[in-house]
Amino acid sequence: MKKTRLTCLVALIAGCGAADGAPPDNGVHIIRGADDGTPRIDLTIAGEGLDLPTGTTAIIQIGTPSHEGERLGHAVVDVDAGAFSVTFPKVCESGSYKQKTVLFDLDDDGICDDGEPVLTDTDAVDGGPTVVVRAPSDGAWGDFLVGTCADFVADWPTE
């Protein structure tokens, strides 16, 4: 009896709930951008060697909501041992200068507060890239520049 209960608990933790056909609960949401034949590529945002506590929330925004019809990506993930990695399937129009913003939400309130690191990058994406966040050095966090709360979209759309 005990073993059965334990097995069920482990199954729940492992995410057996996804069997109902829902998308995987990896924190990634992609909206907008009609499938009109535009070549689109995956984008991975990866953090490494970060001096942030395990469990720190990273909120990642891909794209610019005020650009009509642009495909947008959003994810909320935890930093684990100074690292994280999120892949946004087919989120980038090939070669476009896509806005990418990362907020380390230190107090986990979903809001950009003074003193919380905001990182931005707008380089073109063209070919299965990974954009890397590293511990800050010389004003940059790896591929990202230091941004401000003005770069973080507080009212990110859901559709």
Q: Which residues bind Ca ion (CB under 5 A)?
A: 105, 107, 109, 111, 113
- Taking alpha carbons only, the member of 25, 10, 111 closest to residue 75 is 25
Least Å distance, CB 92 to Ca ion, is 27
Q: Smaller CB distance to Ca ion: residue 59 or 133?
A: 59
Strand order in the sheet with 144-146: 28-31, 72-78, 57-62, 100-105, 118-121, 144-146, 140-141
Coil, strand or helix: which one is 104?
strand
Instruction: Give CA–CA dist 41/26, Å, rounded.
Output: 19
Give 113 or 126: the residue with its C-beta nearer to Ca ion: 113
Name which of 81 and 111 has its Cβ closer to Ca ion. Answer: 111
Question: Quick check: 101 and 118 in contact, CB under 8 A?
Answer: yes
Q: How far is the CB of 117 from Ca ion (least distance, A)?
A: 11
- Shortest distance, position 119 Cβ to Ca ion, whole Å: 14
We find the least distance from the C-beta atom of residue 111 to Ca ion, in angstroms, to be 5
Based on CB atoms, which residue is closest to Ca ion, 31 or 106? 106
Q: Closest by alpha carbon to 55, among 77, 72, 35, 25?
A: 77
